[in-house]
Structure 1
Amino acid sequence: MSTAEAGLEPESAPPRPNNAARGIGDRIFRLQLTGAGTIVLAIMAAVGIFLLLRAGSALKVRGLSFLTTAQWQPDVHNFGIAAVLIGNLLIAAVAVTFSLPLALGTALFISDIAPRRLRRTLVAMVDLMAAVPSVVYGLWGLFFLQGHVVGVSRWLSDWLGWIPFLHVDGAQPGDPLASSSVYTASSFIAGLVVALMVAPIQCSVMREVFSQAPVGEREGAYALGATRWGVIRTVVLPYGRGGVIGGTMLGLGRALGETIAVYLIISPVFTIQPHILQTGANSVSSLIALHYGDASEFGMSALMAAGLALFLLTLVVNFTASSIVARSRSGSQSEA
């Protein structure tokens, strides 16, 4: 008696291997992809090894105190990245705070609200924003944005100065004739400029994930009487949650490594300065750009150690973001 006649479930047979011979084109394409991936990993490893070797003498002198010292005097062996690393994180935090709602709203508008005939134009405009050189953003922030944002910084300091990171030393609340120099060249202004630089990257990732939301679930939500916002809230956003997180972290990685735009705006200080509205800020990349030309041999090693710390930080952020984005593109489910 067969298994079917006995009313029993047949054992699941293992899938048959695909023995189809690959053509020469498939083999060449596979070799090209493998080679490209290997080259990228080799370059990243080479950069890390180069920085580690060049930073070896500085790291031997300072050890773990390199991460806790705020001063930068490598010629007398008194240096560290505590101040610049905190400044770097503050600028990146301000950038992500403003870029996230901007990128999220733009991505939702393009994927779900904008007419079809306008979507291609809007996508091209967003992509062109990502292609603008960072020095252009820096000059725009220095000569245009800074003068218009000082009033906002003053207002935030006057009314919300009781919050520690919004307090400004030397500010005179309620005095319209007070000097505005205490608000210029701050982490807040640099973060706004970096926010406009990273928003296109975040928007592209989010838009791509939002566009993959299941059409059947969208139509089902509309059939049940949902409004457009209801479809976005119950179908698109839950499905694209991973894309939002991944895009935000990719933007964070870009914000951490931004150099020229930040260098043009900030006034470098080598003290831990947690007040984002107050003049004076710093970042690791700006530190390297500032001291690269006049550094001694040991000072160059110290700069390489700072670059190594930034390299590892951005590497962790970008790899985490890539894994989140990859998971968001398969097996995602909405709440509809």
Structure 2
Amino acid sequence: MVDATYQKIGPRIDARTAQRQRATDTGFRLVTLFFAVLVLAILGGVILSLIIGALPALQTFGVDFIFTEVWNPVTDKFGALAPIYGTLVTSVIAMVIGVPVSFGIAIFLTELCPPVLKRPLGIAIELLAGIPSIIYGIWGFFVLAPILQQTVQPFLINTFGQLPLIGKLFAGPPYGIGIFTAGLILAIMVLPFITSIMRDVFETVPPLLKESAYGLGATTWEVVFKVVLPYSRVGVVGGVMLGLGRALGETMAVTFVIGNAHRISNSILAPGTTISASIANEFTEAVGDLYTSSLIALGLVLFVITFIVLALAKIQLMRLQRKAGG
């Protein structure tokens, strides 16, 4: 009777096989643990290297390094305020332009797009992510900047520039290059990343929920904003934060079109600079330990900004998940 039972449930696992399986599981766990610890070690090494490299500049300038606009290698006076300002403003412009466009594209691909166009459009969006950033920069400098200088920027200056409150944001001559152009390039660059993630999370919404809403008489607009978006809001926020992280650290494309001017202007049409662009432009020409240390300190500031943004995003995602669970 017992043998018949074992024959039904399969062969008995002997002690040697069980021991080998336990050894395999242990080895697999140790290998994955090693890789996880390796990532933390690399991250810690990067942080430590940045701190050591930035220490001379931080000891010389102190907290004033963060709040000083002057950047003069001749007199060894360095401040990170202008690059920090440029990094944050260009990233905000990129998000203001890129997120609504990405949301619209993702909704069209998942809810409204004809089947014959869905795949070609999806591939086209994904191909944008594969274009090197330097190509975006060259295109922005030789093609987009002249177009903006001749058409878009004069329009902004003549319309929004005349308004009492926000007029200063669009004042000045149309340079073509500048903070606005850099933000527009960043918006184009982050668009495929945000769109792909939004499209994927929108496709995870159960069709039964949408069909039920349509059956109750809901319009497409109501289905999107009352069913699809609430169901997938955690993924949407994650996609937006991924795009923001991409915008904060972009280097070559921004370097081509931002103007690389170490100053803060009230107008977003004026030239400026970012942390990554400053490092890329000046690191090979840095003469003296203080100059090099100041550039490394800029890298440390960018690391801290990125860490804070990602930490806030993680906290927001946790809150959304907790609210959804409740």
Distance 1:35 1:120, change over 3 A: farther
TM-score, normalising length: structure 1: 0.82
The structural deviation recorded for 1:274 is 2.8
The structural deviation recorded for 1:166 is 2.6
The structural deviation recorded for 1:252 is 1.4
Deviations along 1:238-288, whole A, 9 cap, x unmatched? 22223333222221111111110011112222221131123x111111111
1:241 is the counterpart of 2:233? yes
Deviations along 1:275-310, whole A, 9 cap, x unmatched? 1123x1111111111111111222111100001000
In the alignment, is the contact (CA less than 8 A) between 1:129 and 1:197 conserved in 2? yes
Distance 1:96 1:145, change over 3 A: same
Q: In the aligned structure 1, how far is the partner of 2:245 from the partner of 2:238?
A: 11
In the alignment, is the contact (CA less than 8 A) between 1:87 and 1:273 conserved in 2? no
Deviations along 1:146-184, whole A, 9 cap, x unmatched? 121221111111111132443323x4xxxxxxxxxx432
Q: In the aligned structure 2, how far is the partner of 1:24 from the partner of 1:223?
A: 55
1:71 is the counterpart of 2:70? yes
In the alignment, is the contact (CA less than 8 A) between 2:169 and 2:268 conserved in 1? yes
Q: Following superposition of structure 1 onto structure 2, how do residues 255-334 of structure 1 map, counting pairs within 5 Å?
A: 255-278=247-270, 280-296=271-287, 297-322=289-314, 324=316, 332=324
Deviations along 1:168-214, whole A, 9 cap, x unmatched? 23x4xxxxxxxxxx432111111111111011111122222212223
In the alignment, is the contact (CA less than 8 A) between 1:201 and 1:247 conserved in 2? yes
Q: Which residue of 2 aligns with 1:35?
A: 34
Alignment match of 1:193 (pick from 185, 194, 219)? 185
- The runs of 5 or more residues in structure 2 that have no matched partner are 1-17
Deviating more after overlay: 217-226 vs 120-129: 120-129
Q: Which residue of 1 aligns with 2:106?
A: 107
Q: In the aligned structure 2, how far is the partner of 1:29 from the partner of 1:108?
A: 41
Kindly tell me the number of residue pairs found equivalent between the two proteins.
Answer: 302
Deviations along 1:21-46, whole A, 9 cap, x unmatched? 97666555544443333222222221
Q: In the aligned structure 2, how far is the partner of 1:106 from the partner of 1:325?
A: 23
Other structure's SS at 1:292 match: helix
Q: In the aligned structure 2, how far is the partner of 1:65 from the partner of 1:304?
A: 16
Q: In the aligned structure 1, how far is the partner of 2:24 from the partner of 2:127?
A: 34
Q: In the aligned structure 2, how far is the partner of 1:25 from the partner of 1:210?
A: 39
Q: Following superposition of structure 1 onto structure 2, how do residues 132-151 of structure 1 map, counting pairs within 5 Å?
A: 132-150=131-149, 151=151
Q: In the aligned structure 1, how far is the partner of 2:226 from the partner of 2:142?
A: 43
Q: Following superposition of structure 1 onto structure 2, how do residues 83-232 of structure 1 map, counting pairs within 5 Å?
A: 83-116=82-115, 118-150=117-149, 151-161=151-161, 162=163, 163-169=166-172, 171=173, 182-232=174-224
The structural deviation recorded for 1:139 is 0.6
Other structure's SS at 1:275 match: coil
Other structure's SS at 1:313 match: helix
Aligned letter for 1:168?
A: A
Distance 1:27 1:206, change over 3 A: farther
Quick check: which one's helix share is greater? 2
In the alignment, is the contact (CA less than 8 A) between 1:72 and 1:79 conserved in 2? yes
Q: Which residue of 2 aligns with 1:8?
A: none
In the alignment, is the contact (CA less than 8 A) between 1:209 and 1:329 conserved in 2? no
Aligned letter for 2:282?
A: H
Distance 1:234 1:24, change over 3 A: farther
Q: In the aligned structure 1, how far is the partner of 2:27 from the partner of 2:300?
A: 36
Other structure's SS at 2:277 match: helix
- The runs of 5 or more residues in structure 1 that have no matched partner are 1-19, 172-181
Distance 1:138 1:40, change over 3 A: same
What RMSD, in angstroms, separates the aligned Cα atoms of the two structures? Answer: 2.5
Deviations along 1:98-147, whole A, 9 cap, x unmatched? 10111111111222222445444433332221121000000111111112
| Identical pairs, percent | 38
TM-score, normalising length: structure 2: 0.84
